[in-house]
Structure 1
Amino acid sequence: MEVDIQSLETVNQLASEGAQRATAMLAQMTGIQADVEVTKISLTDRADIGEELTGHELVGIDFDLEGGLVGDTTLVFEAACTGPIVEALPGDGAGDGMIESSVEEIGNIMMSGFIDGWADFLGTTIEHSPPRYVEATGADVLPAAEDPAEQVFVFKNHIEWPGEDLSFYIYMLPASDRLTELMSDLGTGGDAIPVDKLSVFNDMTREGTRKAARNVTEMTGIETRAEVTQISFAPVEDVPKQVDNRPCVGTAVEFSGTPSGYLMVLFDEESATAVAEALMPMEPDGEGFTDMHESAIEEMGNIMTSGFIDGWANVLQTSIDHTPPRVVHDMGRAIIDPLAAQVGQHQEHAFIIESRMQTEDLEFGCEIHALPDDAELRQALAELDVERSEETEPDVERIFE
């Protein structure tokens, strides 16, 4: 089954408009004017969905979809949201015993707003089940995965409540076969992307991330593992929003070949300091993040980038080169914004290849974000030999040249 860029853009827009309708319904009921911050489609392992919810106390309103669209959709509220939302309902509000039913009512009306646009566009009927109320921590608020290793498409809307440090989300997990049929029907036949090869490319990214994590472990002694990999599709202007807006240190490179694009290795400041000092043969000379720290991060970024990209080149049987790494130290979105602007000069939507690494040894966070040229990514996928998907061993001589 193949999908094209236009169909991806169409369903992404439908999800965005659905979230806008849902938040409009919330505003009508409560007066709360929430903003849809990010809408994206991601291909990822089912077990990795909701990873960004880790550690949060949450309330979920879960629905089954049937008819023109089949699958699960969950509205996810931070637990701290429910009280203010219920209190904002007209009338006398709800007592403690009525919070659950009130939140279910809000979720039911928001869900109707979310799916109405899909049904209208598809010219069909989409039914949803009665709401199911769930209280849980982290990703447990989402429906249990039948096959955690299965790669699935997920639509995620991140919605923020201005003036409050609170967020809520809409996750839609459509049945994969029905979604790919739908996108195939919506497509024009041009710019086609084989879905099975996109899954293989995601596997390549996962293996590249594992190699990058092993490089961190071998060079620093910090036991590091790959946590999440996914390929997302979003409007170019939303690309910087994929990154937490916190201070980051890392490297940025431009890579050329098939595909070409940009790649960033980003550490949070504390992790960057720990990794850099683990590489240093002596104590840093000076306070704060010194030139010695920057040099160490540049070295680490070069090794991680080379191993990550070489895995692609070996499987794709192509040549992919990259510029020397440039050390970046800024807020996460400020780092990615100019690179997204470069990509946006010739395309309105972008694929974002994302992976994360973690360690149990210390507070550590590292993310890899790649922004490939979509036309060249399509070419690479068209030429991809699926049987070579395991051949991701990097060229050691090239890495250390």
Structure 2
Amino acid sequence: MTAGTDSPSKIAFTGRAWPVPLGELPTPVLTLDQAALTHNVDTMSEWCRASGVDLAPHGKTTMAPAVWQQQLDAGAWGITVATAYQAAVAREAGVERIILAGTTFAPDALALLAEPGADVLMWLDSVDGVRLVDDALGRVGPARQLPILVELGAPGGRTGARTIEVALEVARAVLAAENLVLAGVAGYEGALSHGTDGSALQLIDDYLASLIEFRDVLDGDAFADWLARGGDVIVTAGGSVYFDRVVEALGFRHDPEGVRGARTRVVLRSGAYVTHDHDLYRRLTPFGRTAGPETFRPALDLWASVVSRPEPTLALLNVGRRDTSDDEGMPLPVRAYRLVDGEHRPVSDAVEGAVVTALNDQHAFVRLPVGSELAVGDLVRLGISHPCTTLDKWASIAVIADGRGGPALPVVTGSVVTRF
């Protein structure tokens, strides 16, 4: 990934060109560790390659075309998005294969999805949805048919046909539609659970078994014309928590001879792995749940200043909901630095036992143990939980080359622009 030369939007008024010592920038600052990011991209790419599946990482995690390009350069099959706007950003960025894990009914947006230049595969889960999309495309005269992935869900989940029988009705409606073409099946197991105990994993496994059953039913005579069209049949599932279960259930290797009656390409859509985090995915990712050589590294850090110590066990930082996620846990104090003789130096144990208890728009409340040495003006490094809802608060992110290289503050070498 090549960092841009523009200043991150929240620190643009500094007027400084890169590189810049991080301690000279006004806080809050979100940093992206290039070394950790590259490690995560390469680790996931190698794991998918060894597992015999493809990867279309969910681009909504970062909405950063430069990061997408690094993922594609490492071997990603395509990029996943959630909305028509995100698909347009991906097309503009030159992404050639796009999975739209969602639906739009707007005629102009649909016409753009069907335009040559990129293969966009959109999800549908109802006969009514098929009719609406086909009619909308008919009004704008698309350049070509829009590929459709029929989504199979499960009771209690999010979108998706609730039974295989209903999903088959949707597939038949797609085949009969003038402006659509059936491209495969899709699902999202992460909507059913985030648990990692035996019952949660069994729920996930049962759903994945139904997804592959749906794929196999499509091999029947009623779909012979679809199978005869050639090309790959897409089967896609897999968020950031259960991608190992998806591979176990669906991960038969792409077989040009067609062991299932047609060539089948399994595509994962994991997204959060690219930056990882310090809490949620650290606990839930398959690499965190099981012992093994693979691991991801947290690539995002949020930097804030202590602006007040109004009570013995309370500190206020100048960072809040406008800057960080709090939907899956509060930020985690990692280390504190103090300016001494013109240089920021670590303050030993200053944040040991410190806990962020609440966020306002621009303030974080930090509960401290009695006797904490954290002082007004100290710089605090925070880990985050759930990268998706932190990244979307930043129009650009400061890039550091290697944030784990030692006690010294990192140097900001550039920035990455986001397109939220």
Same fold flag (TM > 0.5): no
TM-score interval for Structure 1 and Structure 2 normalised by the shorter chain: under 0.3
Structure ranking higher in strand proportion = 1
Looking at CA atoms only, which structure, 1 or 2, has the larger radius of gyration? 2
TM-score where L is the length of structure 2 = 0.20
TM-score where L is the length of structure 1 = 0.20
